[in-house]
Amino acid sequence: MRTSPAFRVVRVVLLLLFAVFFFGPLLAMLDFSTRGTNGSRTWAAWANLVEDPELNRAIVASLLLSLFTVVLMLLLLVPTMIWVRLRVPRATRLLEFLCLLPLTIPALVIVVGITNVYQWVTYFLGDHVLNLTFVYVVLVLPFAYRAIESALSSIDATTLAEAARSLGAGWGTVIGRIIVPNIWSGLLSAAFISVALVLGEFTIASLLNYENMQVVIALLGKSDANTSVAASLAAIAFAFVLLLLLSVVGRSRRTEGKVT
Amino acid sequence: MASRTLRVSLVAAVGVAALAACAPPAKNTGSGGSGADAATATSAADLGGMDALVKAAKKEGKLNVIALPPDWANYGNIIKTFGDKYGIQVTSQQPDAGSQDEIDAAKRTKGTDRAPDVFDLGQAVALANTSMYAKYKVANFNDIGAQFKDPKGAWVNDYGGYMAIGYDSAKVPAPKSIDDLLGPAYKGKVALNGDPTTSGAGFSGVLMAAVAKGGSADNIKPGVDFFSQMKKAGNLVPVDPTSATIKSGQTPVVIDWDYTNAAHVNDVKTWKVALLPNVDPVGGFYYQAINADAPHPAAARLWEEFLFSDQGQNLWLAGGARPIRADAMVKAGTIDKAKYDALPKVTGTPVIPTTEQTTKMSDYLAKNWAAAVK
Amino acid sequence: MSRLARLTPSLALLPFLLYLTVFLLVPTVTVVVGAFAENGTFTLANITALADPVALTALRTSVLLSAVSAVIGAVFGAVLAYLIVSGGQASWLRRSVISLSGVLAQCGGVMLAFAFIATIGYSGVLTVWLRDHLGIDIFGSGWLFALPGLILVYAYFQIPLMVIVFLPALDGIKPQWREASVNLGANGWQYWTQVAFPLLRPAFLGATLLLFANAFAAYATAAALVSQGNPIVPLLIRSGLSSEVLLGHQHLAYALAFEMIVVVAAVMGMYGLLLRRTARWLR
């Protein structure tokens, strides 16, 4: 639809400007991480990363954490949000505030408050880095809520639900087979930001003395400035590739066009 | 009806919250007989001698240390040497944490395997939390002067240093007096290691400026005024100096402990460290302590023995810090003479504030620092 | 309807509420209670300490920083989101931008500060190049380490965050709307201002609110960029909790956290009002 040549040019220019803004600092980091002595270029800092065994364990832990967090978040949040929209609309503001609350409390303070809770978690589930899933689900709530809400507000969920119910569908079918496919873009966005958040989370894991990817990377970086910058860039690249793969997998399940 | 539901769920929620807010029953981690012995041992003799201690520590196999950056007083090497010597896996947690964070982490992870075993603390925090330490006297306990240790061994000074100015000699001239730092040659170049209301090193840096400008441990105002002047002149960079900022040339002048400054020679070959000439140096010691609830008590005690042994003390010396047993080691001839002589010469009487003086100065900073360096 | 039938709708929210209670409300309540306590006794001393000039300045700076970076992030993010939506559903550009946005939205802390300092700091790559080749000094008196710098650096993760959360709303713009408005004689401008923008407004405002809260509580980046002076509330909180110089100020930190919750609740209230007024004719 938007095929006017003027628009295409504007689009390319704007995209280029955005690219300069976002890639500029990343390139500066790449420049620093490959600096050798006397202005030479070296990949030594990057080689350091591959050789660390603790890092591999931490990467696996972070990947598992992001998987569990996304699954638990979707299981908890999606039915709740759909239900609130369809059946308990008066709870919308409350839900919105509750889902924004984790963001208003700095991680430092959350850790202070969550100490006792986590002692219970450790008591029941043993001491494992995957225990972080529970607090991570809470951390991703604000972002996931907003992404799913954006999608939910753009479809007429009530009419769809009424139509399906009048045709005899149960609530499970309404949620699972009618609404969810229509908000797939929102679910995917929510999953994206959740994975990115879990992979990038440092403060809470570090303060609770767990070892996730960012904690190990930070420790690695202490030994050498170039390595720390290389490690951060590597983490960004890693997360980017992961999300790209996720987007490919996600898109292939999307139906063509919208269900009207 | 919806409001009734709300009330019911609220009550249920409060109930759950109240339950969750209490601590769970203490689970016995079952570290075994040797663990219990080690947790109450007040010296190696209690366990049957050094060999028995080493054996118990190896059995535990792990040690958690906290807030030990690798380039702080050569801790990177110390950790590695200890791990290799005894085959114990050392986990270095939260290397960027401050002293208070160490205590908080211990409280937060109490009863788990993740709790820190040992602490290396600044003066204020160390003396405020003595109930958290286990009493233990290392083999060389008597080499250390009475004013540097708790008589029962709850805490012991481990190493000390003086506030100094580190600088990249290729980029700036050597500062001959503190007022040099206000000059144009240092524009946009001077960094203080940490905010003085938060970090002990930052605090001591301001105290150093105060002493240089005629103040003392009872009057830190001249120091605050000096930094305010530096900020207005555009010379003060409000960024924490790290290996990366020094290497990239963003912070070519750093006000920090002499031993932390000494480590930056690894980042920039032309790095030099100098105490201010003709000014009483501001000194400070750090405090070693064992967590009373350490998950690996034998390993923790072995770590302390290692740190206060000649080998451990010399490793700290290699990092530019002044080990607490230096005098005894010089007499016994076990000190690393070359490195000891290479330490910056100290002239004048060291200024080491007492707890009362520190509290007064901190209160002054809390009220005036933020506005001074705006 | 029977009592049970009326109860059931709300009951279905129980699992979610229970989870939140344990993992969110308990920490929050702990903090709020801590704000009013000192050494185990009830006291308002910490709350009144919030009126100190230091705390008030920090609050003002925090709100300003969050509001400005939220608006900048929202506007530029919405533009960027629109640019990639118009490229088609399954284009590689869209996939890459979304993936990159997801990553950069969570980027922050020491590395982000370092990256910006390395680019436009005193000896940054760009600064040096501009100084040597064009004689322009973009470093000036160090604006990077003050509020303007913070806003610029915050934009780096606010814009991608906006892209991520606003894109689903843009996806919801049906081509039928455009066709219908063209049929009724509207031109492009009218379509946008009278059809698309109003429909997008709730999602846009909600996303801006999220960006505000995100900036308000963010501290890792500010801590790395401005290590001295605690200019924003989260840094004051960190100082209260982990200072090794000023001991015993934990409860002041809780009071500050309580203040943050109140501020965000107030902003949410404003957002609710705005929403009600602009979404009269939407469900």
pLDDT tens string for chain A (260 positions)? 456 788 888 889 999 999 999 999 999 888 888 887 666 788 887 887 777 778 888 888 999 999 999 999 999 999 999 999 988 888 888 898 889 888 888 887 888 888 888 888 888 888 888 999 999 999 999 989 988 988 888 888 889 889 998 998 888 888 888 899 888 888 988 998 899 899 888 888 988 889 888 888 778 777 777 777 887 888 888 889 988 888 887 665 444 344 33
The pLDDT value recorded for residue B310 is 93
Over residues C197-208, mean pLDDT = 87
Q: Do C237 and A108 touch (CB under 8 A)?
A: yes
The Cα-based distances of C34 to B9, B198, C266 in angstroms read: 24, 21, 21
3-state secondary structure chain A: CCCCHHHHHHHHHHHHHHHHHHHHHHHHHHHHHCECHHHCECCHHHHHHHCCHHHHHHHHHHHHHHHHHHHHHHHHHHHHHHHHHHCCHHHHHHHHHHHHHHHHCCHHHHHHHHHHHHHHHHHHHCCCHHHHHHHHHHHHHHHHHHHHHHHHCCCCHHHHHHHHHHCCCCHHHHHHHHHHHHCHHHHHHHHHHHHHHHHHCCHHHHHCCCCCHHHHHHHHHHCCHHHHHHHHHHHHHHHHHHHHHHHHHHHHCCCCCCCC
To the nearest whole angstrom, how far is the Cα of A98 from the nearest Cα of chain B? 14
pLDDT at C182 over 90: no
Cα Rg for chain C, rounded, in angstroms?
Answer: 23
Q: Do C7 and B124 touch (CB under 8 A)?
A: no
Helix (H, G, I), strand (E, B) or coil at B283: strand
Q: Who wins on pLDDT, A203 or B85?
A: B85
Q: Do C3 and B1 touch (CB under 8 A)?
A: yes
> Which of residues 214 through 233 in chain A touch C, CB cutoff 8 A?
228-229, 232
pLDDT at B157 over 90: yes
pLDDT at C155 over 80: yes
Chain B residues inside the 8 Å CB shell of A222? 69-71, 76, 95, 243
Segment holding B163, helix H or strand E:
strand B155-168
The pLDDT value recorded for residue B27 is 54
Residue C30 lies in a domain: yes
Residue C169 lies in a domain: yes
Name residue C26's beta-bridge partners.
Answer: none
DSSP code of B351? Answer: B
Q: Do A106 and C173 touch (CB under 8 A)?
A: no
Chain B residues inside the 8 Å CB shell of C117? 239, 245, 248, 250
Q: How far apart are CA C218 and CA C210, in angstroms?
A: 12
Paired sense of beta strands B253-257 and C41-42, if any: unpaired
Q: Which of B71, B76, B114 is facing A209, going by the closest CB pair? A: B114
Q: Do B267 and A225 touch (CB under 8 A)?
A: yes
Q: Report the Cα B131 to chain-centroid distance in Å.
A: 19
Q: How far apart are CA B187 and CA A162, in angstroms?
A: 70
Provide the CATH number for the domain around residue C223: 1.10.3720.10
The pLDDT value recorded for residue C272 is 80
Q: Do B16 and C18 touch (CB under 8 A)?
A: yes
Q: How far apart are CA B75 and CA B83, in angstroms?
A: 12
Q: Do B94 and A207 touch (CB under 8 A)?
A: yes
Mean pLDDT of chain C, nearest integer: 84
Q: Do B91 and A211 touch (CB under 8 A)?
A: yes
Q: Which domain holds residue C177?
A: 26-278
Which amino acid, one-letter code, is at C137?
D
Considering only A224-228, B279-283, C238-242, which range has the smallest mean pLDDT? A224-228
Backbone φ and ψ for A78, nearest 5 degrees, come out as -60, -55
Q: Mind listing the pLDDT tens digit for each residue in B176-228? A: 999 999 999 998 889 999 889 888 999 999 999 999 999 999 999 999 999 99
To the nearest whole angstrom, how far is the Cα of B93 from the nearest Cα of chain A? 6
Residue C7 lies in a domain: no
Domains of chain B: 44-160+284-342 (3.40.190.10), 161-283+346-372 (3.40.190.10)
Q: Do A225 and B93 touch (CB under 8 A)?
A: no
Which chains share 3+ C-beta pairs under 8 angstroms with B? A, C
The pLDDT value recorded for residue A174 is 87
To the nearest whole angstrom, how far is the Cα of A188 from the nearest Cα of chain C? 9
Q: Do C175 and A1 touch (CB under 8 A)?
A: yes
Token readout for A138 is 């809470």
The pLDDT value recorded for residue B17 is 62
Over residues C271-278, mean pLDDT = 76
The pLDDT value recorded for residue C134 is 84
The pLDDT value recorded for residue B172 is 92
Q: Which of B24, B66, B115 is facing A123, going by the closest CB pair? A: B24
What are the residues whose beta carbons fall under 8 Å from the beta carbon of B206, sequence distance 6 or more?
Answer: B192, B196, B220, B223, B224, B227, B365, B369
Chain B residues inside the 8 Å CB shell of C30? 21
Q: Which residues of B324-363 are buried (b: 16+ CB within 10 A; e: fewer)?
A: bbbebbeeeeebbeeeeeebbeeeeeebbbeeebbbbbbe
Most confident of A47-51, B28-32, B111-115, C219-223: B111-115
Closest-CA residue of chain A to C127: A28
Considering only A2-11, B31-40, B323-332, C114-123, which range has the smallest mean pLDDT? B31-40
Q: How far apart are CA A55 and CA A33, in angstroms?
A: 19
Residue C8 lies in a domain: no
Q: Who wins on pLDDT, B313 or C281?
A: B313
Closest-CA residue of chain C to A242: C99
Segment holding B340, helix H or strand E:
helix B337-342
The pLDDT value recorded for residue B267 is 85
Confidence of residue B12 (pLDDT cuts 50, 70, 90): low
Token readout for C84 is 């990639």
Backbone region of residue B94 per phi and psi (left: phi > 0; alpha: psi in -120 to 50; beta: other values): left
Q: Mind listing the pLDDT tens digit for each residue in B50-80? A: 999 999 999 999 999 999 999 899 999 999 9
pLDDT at B254 over 80: yes
Backbone φ and ψ for A232, nearest 5 degrees, come out as -65, -45
Confidence of residue B24 (pLDDT cuts 50, 70, 90): low
Is the domain covering A53-252 a CATH 3.40.1190.20 domain?
A: no
Cα Rg for chain B, rounded, in angstroms?
Answer: 23
Q: Do B242 and A206 touch (CB under 8 A)?
A: no
DSSP code of B118? Answer: E
Which chains share 3+ C-beta pairs under 8 angstroms with C? A, B
**Interface mutation vs chain B, best among A134, A209, A210, most B CBs within 10 Å:** A209
Q: Who wins on pLDDT, B293 or B248?
A: B293
Q: Who wins on pLDDT, C85 or C140?
A: C85
Q: What angle do CA A119, A125, A128 make, to 5 degrees?
A: 80
Q: Who wins on pLDDT, C225 or A67?
A: A67
Mean pLDDT of chain B, nearest integer: 88
DSSP code of B137? Answer: B
Give me the number of domains chain C comprises: 1
Over residues C231-257, mean pLDDT = 86
Closest-CA residue of chain A to B241: A225
Q: How far apart are CA C181 and CA C191, in angstroms?
A: 6
Which chains share 3+ C-beta pairs under 8 angstroms with A? B, C
Confidence of residue C165 (pLDDT cuts 50, 70, 90): confident
Chain C residues inside the 8 Å CB shell of A1? 175, 178
Q: ipTM higher than 0.85?
A: no
Percentage of residues in chain A with pLDDT exceeding 90? 22
Token readout for B139 is 């083999």
The pLDDT value recorded for residue A255 is 43
Residue C229 lies in a domain: yes
- Asked if B44 contacts B301 with a C-beta cutoff of 8 angstroms, the reply is yes
Backbone φ and ψ for B133, nearest 5 degrees, come out as -100, 155
Q: Who wins on pLDDT, B297 or C241?
A: B297
* DSSP for B50-99, written as a single string: HHHHHHHHHHH-EEEEES--TTSTTHHHHHHHHHHHHT-EEEEE-TT--H
Chain C residues inside the 8 Å CB shell of A203? 220
Q: Mind listing the pLDDT tens digit for each residue in C214-223? A: 899 887 888 7
Q: Which of C118, C117, C125 is nearest to C142 (CA)?
A: C117
